[in-house]
Amino acid sequence: MSNPSKIGIVVGSLRKDSITRRVAQAMAKLSPGGAIWRFVEIGALPIYNPDLDEAGVPAWTAFRDEVKALDGVLFATPEYNRSMPGALKNAIDVGSRPYGKSAWSGKPAGIVSVSPGALGAFGANHHLRQSLVFLNMPAMAQPEAYVGNSGNILGADGDFVEASRGFFKAYVEAFEAWVKRHAPVG
């Protein structure tokens, strides 16, 4: 029997009770049991400054080590000004440095963008996808997850309403298979 995949969830919104975080939490509960899902927190990461890398920033080192231990990463992001939030971009930068030692490299990725509007955070999803190409993270192309009208997809219990559950269950199952297929060996 193979070891279960370790999947990290990176949430772009720093709000404790954001809809994006709640969607990610509900998604993790839909795992068919073949993977271990855990949140990788980004809110306390200092802004990346290459001048500080030589001295070592403990929060950066811990974050990079946590990412390196993962088999795959699910990014859950809202959209801020037609792009990803600054905290998420900072986490990407922290994990990708120092140059040539990216913690992200080769890790299969998925993106779920969440918005109360109708476009489903399309801009954030695609800006993030552009970064993943440079980071050498194979991003799952299908199914896509641009989640609009997000205020209507979760019930009071924090789980998906029936109309949304099937889509997210299929996404989680496809993503776990994607990670198994593309996770770096070693």
Tokens of 176: 């776990």
Burial string for 133-162 (b: 16+ CB within 10 Å, else e) reads eebebbbbeeeebbbbebeebbeeeebbee
Instruction: Report the amino acid identity of residue 164.
Output: S
In this prediction the pTM is 0.96
Could you tell me if 81 and 114 are in contact, meaning their C-beta atoms sit under 8 angstroms apart?
no
How many CA atoms are closer than 13 Å to the CA of 153, on its beta-carbon side?
Answer: 26
Could you tell me if 107 and 184 are in contact, meaning their C-beta atoms sit under 8 angstroms apart?
yes
Tokens of 58: 């403990």
Tokens of 139: 């991003």
Give the range of the structural domain holding residue 67, as residue numbers without chain letter. Answer: 5-182
Number of domains in the chain: 1
Predicted confidence band of residue 14 (pLDDT cuts 50, 70, 90): very high
Q: What's the chain's average pLDDT?
A: 94
106: nearest Cα among 79, 82, 138, 62:
138
Pick 28 or 33 by higher pLDDT.
28
The pLDDT of residue 3 is 87
How many CA atoms are closer than 13 Å to the CA of 54, on its beta-carbon side?
Answer: 1
Phi then psi dihedrals of residue 74, to 5 deg: -100, 120
What tens digit of pLDDT does each residue of 78-103 get?
998 889 999 999 999 999 999 999 99
- Counts for the chain of helices (H) and strands (E), in that order: 5, 5
Alpha-carbon distance of 14 to 163, in angstroms, equals 27
| Residue 130 CB coordination number (10 Å) | 11
The pLDDT of residue 1 is 43
Place of tokens 């980071």: 135
Give the rounded percent of residues in the chain with a pLDDT score beyond 70: 98
Question: What CATH number is associated with residue 156?
Answer: 3.40.50.360
Could you tell me if 174 and 3 are in contact, meaning their C-beta atoms sit under 8 angstroms apart?
no
